Structure formats: C-alpha cells, structure tokens
C-alpha cells in the first residue's frame, strides 16, 4: 500500500501578511501634508505645525514599510528617533538639535523611499495600491530633498536666496516647495539655490525628477501591458 499523501506532501510556506493599502495611506498623508501647506504658513506656529506634519509623514512611511522583516527593523531604528525628536520639537524641546533632526529625517525617508521603489519595481502585477506607491514614492522624494535643503540652510545660512525679498529667512515648508519645483523641473521663481552644496543637490534632484518617470512609470506601464496581452 503506498504511503499516505499527507506523509509525503511538502510543507506549504505561509507568505508574510501584508498590511492593507499601505501605499494608499502614505499617499493620503502626503496629500494632507502638501494641501495643509498654505494653512500652516499663515499661522504664528508654522514651524511647530510643520514638524507635526513631518512626524505624520514619518509614521505613514513606517506603516508602509511594515511586514518586511529585517527591512522593517532597520526602518524602525531610523524612523522612531526621527519621529520622537520631531514631536519633541513641536513642544519646544531639543530645538538645538535641528541639524541632527533633519539628518535623521533625510536618512530615514531616503531609506524608506529606496525600499518602496524597489518593492514597486519587483511587483509582478499592477494594482491600485501599486500605482499609489509609485506616486507616493515620487512625492516622498520631493519631501526628502526638501528636508535635505533645510539641513544645508541650517549648516550654511544663505545657501538659498529669494529674488523678491532679499535676505529673507526661509521656513521649512518653503524649501519643500522649492524641492518640488526642482523635482518637476518647472523652473525657478522666487527661490534659487545660491550656495555650492545647494546647487549640487538641486542638480541631483533635477536628474531624479527626469529619470523617475522614465524608469519606474515605464516599468508599471510595461507590466500593465503584459498583463492585458495574457490570454
């Protein structure tokens, strides 16, 4: 009598459970961050509100990267201190750590963005959440560069200049705006990079803004077309 099927059947591995709509949640948080910009900049506590919104972006990015084992662990190691210091800054604590705070934010968001892009490229099919991931990763690139510009301005004041109001002190949200202008290669208006480090980073972001749609969006369109050709 042959051995029972149950004895010879291979053990089925269970795939790690993924959180639902993790990219969609990140995209909605980013949209709230950007659409809340005009309301933040008109208040007397704009810096505090900006830090709070930035902390929400970090939390959404952590949520999006959860369920990936060691990758998630590294994200928590980088992200939790950044969230904690930003929240402390909201209440007026650790304000002397501005450069370190921005550096932690850039490091965490840069790491998270790399993971998101890699995960999207490796997707075998295109879903609504995948498309949300492509858009949210693109927007996260703009936010990350914006924090990097803020760090440069903290280290070397005067790295950015306003052509309308010379000598103006830039708020963090204004450098985020400058970052998206650079990323989309729209062209500069009132804010221009003046220092060498600011110009160098602006050049890198402009190249990123051109290459991202060509590589990532092209990949998603290719996957969608291949799926439609399948019988």
Give 175-218 pLDDT, tens digit per residue. 998 999 999 888 777 888 999 999 999 999 999 988 888 877 77
Contact (Cβ atoms closer than 8 angstroms) between residue 25 and residue 129 = no
- Count other C-beta atoms under 10 Å from residue 13's C-beta: 6
Output the average pLDDT for the chain.
Answer: 81
What's the whole-model pTM score? 0.82
Indicate whether 13 pLDDT > 50: no
Q: Which residues contact 57 (CB under 8 A, 6 or more apart)?
A: 29, 30, 33, 109, 140, 143
Indicate whether 227 pLDDT > 80: no
**Lowest model confidence (mean pLDDT) among 72-81, 93-102, 206-215:** 93-102
How far the first Cα of the chain sits from its last, in Å, is 42
Indicate whether 19 pLDDT > 70: no
The whole-number pLDDT of residue 94 equals 77
**pLDDT confidence band for 123 (50 / 70 / 90):** confident
Which numeric CATH code is attached to 20-225? 1.10.287.70
Largest CA distance in the chain: 91
Most confident range (mean pLDDT) of 41-50, 112-121, 137-146 is 137-146
The whole-number pLDDT of residue 69 equals 87
Give 85-97 pLDDT, tens digit per residue. 888 888 878 777 8
Which comes out higher in pLDDT, residue 19 or 173?
A: 173
**pLDDT confidence band for 225 (50 / 70 / 90):** low
**pLDDT confidence band for 10 (50 / 70 / 90):** very low
Indicate whether 9 pLDDT > 50: no
Percent of the chain with pLDDT over 70: 85
The whole-number pLDDT of residue 199 equals 94
Give 147-176 pLDDT, tens digit per residue. 999 999 999 998 999 888 877 888 888 899
- Domain parsing of the chain, residue ranges: 20-225
Q: Which residues contact 69 (CB under 8 A, 6 or more apart)?
A: 16
State how far the Cα of 8 lies from the Cα of 11, in Å rounded to an integer. Answer: 9
The whole-number pLDDT of residue 207 equals 93
């Amino acid at each position: 009598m042959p051995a029972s099927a149950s004895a010879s059947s291979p053990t089925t591995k269970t795939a790690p459970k993924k959180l639902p709509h993790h990219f969609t949640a990140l995209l909605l948080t980013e949209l709230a961050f950007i659409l809340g910009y005009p309301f933040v900049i008109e208040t007397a506590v704009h810096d505090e509100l900006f830090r709070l919104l930035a902390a929400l972006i970090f939390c959404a990015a952590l949520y999006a990267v959860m369920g990936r084992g060691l990758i998630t662990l590294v994200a928590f190691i980088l992200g939790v201190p950044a969230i904690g210091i930003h929240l402390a800054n909201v209440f007026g604590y650790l304000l002397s750590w501005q450069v370190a705070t921005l550096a932690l934010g850039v490091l965490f968001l840069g790491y998270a963005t790399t993971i998101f892009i890699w995960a999207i490229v490796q997707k075998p099919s295109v879903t609504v959440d995948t498309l949300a991931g492509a858009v949210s990763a693109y927007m996260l690139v703009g936010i990350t560069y914006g924090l990097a510009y803020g760090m440069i301005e903290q280290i070397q004041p005067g790295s950015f200049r306003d052509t309308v109001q010379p000598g103006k002190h830039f708020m963090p949200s204004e450098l985020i705006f400058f970052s998206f202008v650079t990323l989309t290669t729209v062209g500069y208006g009132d804010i221009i990079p003046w220092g060498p480090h600011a110009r160098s980073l602006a050049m890198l972001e402009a190249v990123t803004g051109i290459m991202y749609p060509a590589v990532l969006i092209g990949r998603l369109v290719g996957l969608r077309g291949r799926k439609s050709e399948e019988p």
